[in-house]
Amino acid sequence: MRKRIASLVLLVLLTSLLPGCWDRYDVSDLAIVGGVGVDRVSSGRIRMTLQIALPSAFYGGQGGNGGQSTAASWVVSGEGKTVADAEAALEKVVPRKIFWDSCGILVVGDQMARQGIGSVTDFFLRHGSTRETMLVMITKGEARTFLETSSVLERMSSQATQILDKINVGYSIQLWKFAEMLDSKGIEPVVPWVSIQKAGVVPEPGKGQSQVEQPVLSGMAVFRGDKVIGWLNTRETRALLWLKGKETQGAITVPSPDGSGPGTSVKIRGGSAQIIPEYDGRSLRFQVNLDMNADVMEQTKNEAPVQAGTIKTLDTRTAQVIKQRVTEVLHKAQRDYGVDIFGFGQAFHRSYKKDWREMKDRWDEDFTGADVNIAVEAHVHEIGLISQGAGRSKND
Amino acid sequence: MEQGKIDSKQAILLMMSTVLPTAILTVPAVTVKFAQQDAWLSLLVALSVALIIALLIVNLGLRFPGKTLFVYPEEILGKIVGKIICGLYIGYFLQLGSAVVREFSLFLGATIMPNTPIVVFTILIIAVAAYAVRNGLEVLSRFNQLFIPLSGLLVIMFLLSSKEMNLTRVLPIFDTGLVPVLKGAAYPLNWLGLIVTMGVMLPYLNKPRRAYRVAVIATLLNGLFLLASIMGALLLFGPHLTANWLYPTYDAVRVICLDHVVERFESIILVMWLLGGFVKLGVFYYGAVLGSAQWFVLEDYRPLVIPVGVILGALSFLLYGENVADLDHFFTDAGIPSSVLIFEIGIPLALLSVDLLRGKGRRKG
């Protein structure tokens, strides 16, 4: 009898598990966030903008007129005193549970970024439902406008920027790496600067053309602490990446030996960078050794053809261009902005830990006054599938 | 009382589960807070002290074959003082057990199930552990043996995140000086010193002669895993961010992201920690129950399982304040000196010295 009662009780208890998780959320109950933007509006309040995916746009229908015709996202904003406050305001407007897990980008408007984005990173790192791997970017103007733009090939602008990240055209930084740079002494963060540009047209039969706007990477925002103090354009960005020893894409053009014509285009693949500090108690010097790899992309007519003998000269000329570009960005950081965005301070800390203790709080000044000597070596590896351009031999 | 026997391998694995599950979560952040990038030096200091504790407790246990940490104090120091010490150890195990309950409840609440009341986790984990404890040491060890291969996953996670690791983040070595390194050592020592639990297990080893080997290997393995979790966090996040995370190891797994395809592994890690935390709770729970039974000189410890479980649940709410910050405070400020100095070194050392003087225990070569 006892056993029977016990098994009955067990059965009843077990049936309570049958409905499954009582606080489950189905996809149809979620508002899936693709990207989030944070702005400071004129009244000093904070506005959070969400780019929420509209699921209907993502079901099948790739062929023919897909993508274009259906709207893919809903962009909605909420305001509040703090970031969390703004999120709470959004929760009232969005009729579903806000699902943060797939949020891939965090865009901060420059109004907010100039006054400090520490509270933004705090909110998103503390949150727990957002990923630490989302990409941080700064935009001139409003983050809302950035998120309101759609993309042609991708359905949402947040997706498009993630793809830009994947193919490495610029530089991207995940939230946790940004937080690490914010927390560390001896390096100041740089964050991709994105903007919306007019990019081409979509010809539509019978209707003419429609202008297309596309999110693009425009360079980098330079920080001091958690505040944006300046900008680097794409040219300077690439030099900065070389100095950091990062992998890069994109070509530079090396002038021909006699200075006539555009010269040879080479693609810099990236390489290694070594920063060696030298300090004798008074004067601070840095020796920077760059070792870069490059491929030949295009030769113009008046160049000597690429052969075993001429590659050496191409190497030296490439190195010269790289050195000049790196010096440019270094001077900009030292003279215009006065912040160490390269991690010279960290290199110094590693070699002179005792001196660092007193220098770490005035590092910006010490860095600005430091003497930097840059030595570049470049190696051209691939020359492509042809040795001499078509039509050369006739002219020569 | 306890009829089961466990072999050396099971004992080593059980000692690993006693130390690692919560230690891997919290030790990196606190140690790094004190010793910055030299946290791994702190760990080596803690490890060497823990080895001494291991030798100490095994030496003591082997002098009184078949008797646990709750019985031999009486033989050494007489009935009254012995009973007091035994009572203190019961309290110690209750505190350790309730801390595990609290940590896991809060961790689950904070990370994956924010809408569920904390008390649900507390009741569930205690209920499951109660069942295991009731079935005895042997069952607990066998269960542990089943799941512990899962910790191999941690090694895979380590490899997956190695792409982002950078050796320069732990340089320069010995930047903070000696004092912070020693301060940082106290926290991991608190965990590694839990090898005193050997004092409870030792009589149930099927080959007590191997006890030294068991204790030393277990301590070294524990040290190795903790070292890996500290180094992993430091190489990924650097000292400042590591100290800022509450659970750096969890975040280290969360940031694994290879091409947006291989990512989001945290649930695997959570499963591992849950199973480990359950065994860990089981060990302390078992210690408290067995100790109480031996204190009252009962025939069987099983009637005590449920009452002790209720006490564990209650303590987990009473001792550690309301949130993670309070729990941290308990460990960093209040918990460490008391448990390391008194229970892990002080009392065993005192017992051994008195016994050496009075020569009650069996002499060992």
DSSP-derived 3-state class of residue A329: helix
Mean pLDDT (whole number) for A263-267: 83
Print burial letters for B336-358: b (CB count within 10 Å at least 16), e (below 16).
beebbeebbbebbeebbeebeee
Q: Which residue would you say has higher pLDDT here, A159 or A282?
A: A282
Q: Residue B34 in contact with residue B183, Cβ under 8 Å?
A: yes
Mean pLDDT (whole number) for A73-81: 91
The candidate with the shortest Cα–Cα distance to B240, out of B37, B25, B24, B26, is B37
Last residue of a domain, one of A192, A212, A232: A232
Residues A204 and A275 in one domain: no
Q: What is the ipTM of this complex?
A: 0.78
Q: A133 to chain B nearest CA, in Å?
A: 6
Instruction: Answer yes or no: is A3 within a domain.
Output: no
The values of phi and psi at residue B343, to 5°, are -85, -30
**Model pLDDT, residue A20:** 61
Across the interface, do B111 and A162 touch by the CB < 8 Å criterion?
A: no
Q: What is the pLDDT of residues A105-155, one digit of tens each?
A: 899 999 999 999 989 999 999 887 888 888 899 999 899 988 888 776 677
Is the Cβ of A82 closer than 8 Å to some Cβ of chain B? Answer: no
Residues A296 and A262 in one domain: yes
Host domain of residue A103? 26-57+67-232
Give the DSSP letter string of B288-342. Answer: HHHHHHHHTT-S-SGGGHHHHHHHHHHHHHHSS-SSHHHHHHIIIIIIHIIIIII
DSSP-derived 3-state class of residue A339: coil
Output the domain CATH number for residue B230: 1.20.1740.10
**Model pLDDT, residue A65:** 46
**Model pLDDT, residue B364:** 47
pLDDT at A256 over 90: no
Mean pLDDT rounded to a whole number for chain A: 83
Instruction: Answer yes or no: is A286 within a domain.
Output: yes
**Model pLDDT, residue B343:** 85
DSSP A134: P
Instruction: Answer yes or no: is A6 within a domain.
Output: no
DSSP-derived 3-state class of residue A252: strand
Is the Cβ of A166 closer than 8 Å to some Cβ of chain B? Answer: yes
**Model pLDDT, residue A257:** 65
CA distance A142 to A77: 12
Instruction: Answer yes or no: is A226 within a domain.
Output: yes
Ranges of residues in chain B whose predicted pLDDT is under 50? 364-365
Q: Residue A82 in contact with residue A46, Cβ under 8 Å?
A: yes
Percent of residues, chain A, with pLDDT higher than 90 = 23
Side chain identity, residue A84: A
Q: Which of B171, B240, B255 sits opposite A176 (nearest CB)?
A: B255
Residues A273 and A354 in one domain: yes
CB burial of residue B319 (10 Å; 0-12, 13-18, 19+): middle
The candidate with the shortest Cα–Cα distance to B167, out of A346, A299, A89, is A346
Residues A97 and A147 in one domain: yes
Is the Cβ of A180 closer than 8 Å to some Cβ of chain B? Answer: yes
Residues A46 and A183 in one domain: yes
Mean pLDDT (whole number) for A70-95: 89
| Helix count and strand count (H, E) for chain A | 13, 13
Instruction: Answer yes or no: is A373 within a domain.
Output: yes
**Model pLDDT, residue A113:** 92
The candidate with the shortest Cα–Cα distance to A188, out of A392, A378, A360, is A360
Instruction: Answer yes or no: is A13 within a domain.
Output: no
Print burial letters for B220-233: b (CB count within 10 Å at least 16), e (below 16).
bbbbebbbbbbbbb
Residues A181 and A264 in one domain: no
**β-pair partners for A292:** A271, A378
**β-pair partners for B255:** none
Beta strands in chain A (DSSP E): 30-40, 46-53, 73-80, 97-99, 105-109, 135-139, 190-204, 208-224, 227-233, 251-254, 264-279, 284-299, 371-380
When scoring B124, B167, B171 by the number of chain A Cβ atoms within 10 A, the one with the most, hence best to mutate, is B171
**Model pLDDT, residue B286:** 95
Output the domain CATH number for residue A371: 3.30.300.210
CA distance B340 to B337: 6
Last residue of a domain, one of A232, A258, A292: A232
Last residue of a domain, one of A203, A232, A261: A232
**Model pLDDT, residue B163:** 81
Across the interface, do B255 and A184 touch by the CB < 8 Å criterion?
A: no
Mean pLDDT (whole number) for A347-355: 87
**Model pLDDT, residue A260:** 66
DSSP B12: H
Across the interface, do B260 and A166 touch by the CB < 8 Å criterion?
A: yes
> How many folded domains does chain B comprise?
1
Q: Which residue would you say has higher pLDDT here, B187 or A21?
A: B187
Q: What is the pLDDT of residues A184-209, one digit of tens each?
A: 888 899 998 888 888 788 887 877 77
My answer on whether omega of the bond before A95 falls inside 30° of 0, hence cis, is no
Percent of residues, chain A, with pLDDT higher than 70 = 85
Host domain of residue B250? 8-358
B8 contact partners, CB below 8 Å, separation of at least 6:
B205, B206, B207, B210, B213, B214
**A:91-150 residues touching chain B, CB 8 A cutoff:** 128, 131-133
**Model pLDDT, residue B365:** 40
> How many folded domains does chain A comprise?
2
**Model pLDDT, residue A22:** 62
Across the interface, do A176 and B168 touch by the CB < 8 Å criterion?
A: no
Is the Cβ of B238 closer than 8 Å to some Cβ of chain A? Answer: yes
Residues A275 and A322 in one domain: yes
CA distance B228 to A244: 28
Q: How far is CA A348 from CA A20, A355, A356, B36, in A?
A: 57, 9, 7, 17
Instruction: Answer yes or no: is A216 within a domain.
Output: yes
Q: Residue B97 in contact with residue B312, Cβ under 8 Å?
A: yes
When scoring A16, A127, A133 by the number of chain B Cβ atoms within 10 A, the one with the most, hence best to mutate, is A133
Mean pLDDT (whole number) for A368-396: 77
Residues A38 and A152 in one domain: yes
Print burial letters for A64-84: b (CB count within 10 Å at least 16), e (below 16).
eeebeeeebbebbbbebeebb
pLDDT at A313 over 90: no
**Model pLDDT, residue A64:** 43
The values of phi and psi at residue A297, to 5°, are -105, -45
Residues A185 and A223 in one domain: yes
Q: Residue B230 in contact with residue B32, Cβ under 8 Å?
A: yes
Q: A134 to chain B nearest CA, in Å?
A: 10
DSSP A382: -
Instruction: Answer yes or no: is B204 within a domain.
Output: yes
Instruction: Answer yes or no: is A237 within a domain.
Output: no
Q: Which residue would you say has higher pLDDT here, B115 or A345?
A: A345
The residue in chain A having the minimum alpha-carbon distance to the alpha carbon of residue B107 is A128
